[in-house]
Chain A
């Protein structure tokens, strides 16, 4: 059974940093593109970042470029999102998702809430 479990969310002040993790199990993690998708409270879904199977390619939505870094550790079956210079508008539930060949998102974690507030 495919499982994705996010952790690392919490309350952080504007300008602060946070690192999200996603533990994957039930599939060959190193064979899949992985993604982060976020959802602000009461709002819709927003794609945030993609990372290739070997970590050699990374792509970001314009609003997080230069502030967020997606990474992965295939030995640990884990996906990460390092978030720096956080802003109030980054407040959201962050989901990790499996993205086979970037065609769609077929499995999602339960999400972790990030709140940016003073």
Chain B
């Protein structure tokens, strides 16, 4: 039940693109296409943004996209907007009906 590794912070200017990485192991990210990403604004509950590596729930902007290579998953946000400033968490199924989250990444829109 190890935490996934994310950068503590990333930043970008409005209109730019940013990518947040999420590194796990061959026991979680590398073994399952069950990586999800959550957006959390201060004082609010997390919101599902990407599931099963690259699928977007209904209502989530197509500026959000996900991918995976080996033990590392990535979330890309294109056309950055002020409202994207938030904390982002990755999560992966880790086998044996358990999950693990990343430590979170604070996105700052400059």
The size class of the interface chain B forms with chain A is: 20 to 34
Q: Which residues in window 34-91 of B have CB below 8 A to A? A: 34, 36, 38, 40, 45-48, 51-52, 57, 89, 91
A102 touches B97 (CB 8 A): yes
The size class of the interface chain A forms with chain B is: 20 to 34
Q: Which residues in window 90-118 of A have CB below 8 A to B? A: 95, 102-111
B104 interface residue per 8 A CB criterion: yes
In angstroms, how far is the closest chain B Cβ from the Cβ of A112?
Answer: 11
A104 touches B36 (CB 8 A): yes
Interface residues of B (CB under 8 A from A): 1, 3, 34, 36, 38, 40, 45-48, 51-52, 57, 89, 91, 93, 96-104
Interface residues of A (CB under 8 A from B): 35, 37, 44-47, 50, 57, 59, 61-62, 95, 102-111
Closest 3 A/B residue pairs (Cβ)? A104-B36, A104-B51, A44-B104
